[in-house]
Amino acid sequence: MSYRSRVRWSRWIATLSATCLITLGATWGENMPIQASNLAENQLVAEDVSAVWANGSFPVENFQSYTSPFGYRTSPVTGKRQFHNGLDLAAPRGSYIRSWWGGKITALSDNTACGTSVTVRSGEWQHVYCHLEGHVDSSRNGTFMIDRAGGIQLSLGQQIPAGTRIGRIGMTGRTTGPHLHWVLKHNGGYVDPALVLKEMFKRQAVSSAL
């Protein structure tokens, strides 16, 4: 990892430490957050676990701040207490979003509160990216998401590597400002993305030091 990358990671992690409100081991009904370090050891099994985590990509270019953590909160839209199933990452509208991990695009949608969204399946992991620019359309060749201004077109079933630009920060769906709502699930259970980012930073720092 380059010095500039390490500085960016340090800034992201410092912000996470100040804003993450989730306590490890807290339960959220049937979807208990999974401790990312346990996943690194038990689910992402490899001879060198640090090398496995090095494959991950931070999902937002031009990142500014974390605006809402994973867990229960008061909804900024309804004012009611609700379960927030992802992490909100703010960036200027039009900033590119990158796939956290390589995988297959399993869902494309633009007709829910998530707005224009992309879902990627990476083995036992599922990652969802919400409130993107663009729209979803279908033709005889299949279903696709298109963002002409951003030069992005993705097809349902398409295989993509980690770090692929899969969209841009938008204002589609139910949102009060430009941001990415990023959802992570493992074997059907929600995972706090903040814990994953912390583990990625730790493991990538170990790899860069070797």
Q: What is the pLDDT of residues 12-57, one digit of tens each?
A: 444 444 443 332 332 222 333 444 444 444 444 433 555 667 778 9
Q: Report all structural domains of the chain as residue ranges with CATH numbers, in order of start.
A: 3-209 (2.70.70.10)
Q: What is the pLDDT of residues 164-177, one digit of tens each?
A: 999 999 999 999 89
| 110: its two tokens | 């633009």
pLDDT of residue 43: 46
Q: What percent of the chain has pLDDT over 90?
A: 53
pTM of the predicted structure, to 2 decimals: 0.76
Nearest to 210 by CA among 6, 51, 58: 51
pLDDT of residue 160: 96
Residues 6 or more apart whose CB falls under 8 angstroms from that of 46 comprise 52
Name the stretches of the chain with pLDDT < 70.
1-52, 77, 204-210
Average predicted confidence (pLDDT) for the chain: 79
pLDDT of residue 80: 74
